[in-house]
Amino acid sequence: MKKLEGKTAYVPGAGNGIGRAVAMKLASEGANIVVNDLEVDPAVDVVNEIKAMGVDAVAVPGSVTEDGFAERFIGTGIETFGGVDIIINNAGYTWDSLIGHMTDKQFDAMMDVHLKAPFRILRAASGFIKGAAKQEAEEGREVFRKVVNISSVAGTGGNVGQANYSSAKAGVIGLTKTLSKEWGRYKVGVNCVAFGYIETRLTEATDEKKTINVDGNEVSIGIPSKVAGGFAQMVPMGRPGTAEEAAGGVYLFCVPESNYVSGQVMVVGGGWQL
């Protein structure tokens, strides 16, 4: 039997990069996946890939920052699969500037996507989790659930040009530690993975100017090749991590072996910490 057989996992931002790798990893261990992405097509593509593996999945496209998204996301999963077992708060992007040039809009955008959106998703799931835990206790059953919030070494140590992102990712750690205390009674392990230099479309080495549109904002992606090379040299393992390696760190907090682990922050960065 696979380790996550019959579980239902919610993965925001699963259409590309780390989120996609996480969704595929959890599905490979038998979990049904509730897939979110900002765009419809990437979300549907991931759902189809998961179904081809013999596991079920459903797409809930849209921005995690939209009012009502969290309730729709969690509600769709409960309606489709009947439960909430794993939540991976992964969706996000960066919008950098030195503080003298950073606008309120930039700061608020990072807080909304990296901190408020996870808060809303967890709040939306709280009623089901509390009710299910109470029923399971009355029946004498022990069922463990998992939350993995995604932070960054920018959140643990700060980073130049990322006052907004670093603040939001530091807040994620506070959210994690608080919820581990609130939800321990419900047998929910709430942990945090802080990523180092992981290679995705947002961090790829490039000397071309590339942007993506997020909620109507044109946001630069990629890292100048020279800068990326400098980052790689600072990583003790000598290279950026892959999305699949990042997903492996998340997976460790989702399996039964971590049932008694909660309130922890694990850096997945090849030995590099800011």
Residues 115 and 136: their CA atoms lie apart, in Å, by 30
Decide: 109 and 164 in contact? Cβ < 8 Å: yes
With b meaning 16 or more CB within 10 Å and e meaning fewer, what string describes 100-117? Answer: eebeeebbebbbbbbbbb
Decide: 228 and 180 in contact? Cβ < 8 Å: no
Residues with Cβ within 8 Å of residue 99, at least 6 apart in sequence: 163
How many residues are listed for the chain in this entry?
A: 274
Active site residue 10: no
- Considering the candidates 10, 165, 197, 251, report the single residue annotated as catalytic: 165
- Active-site positions? 165
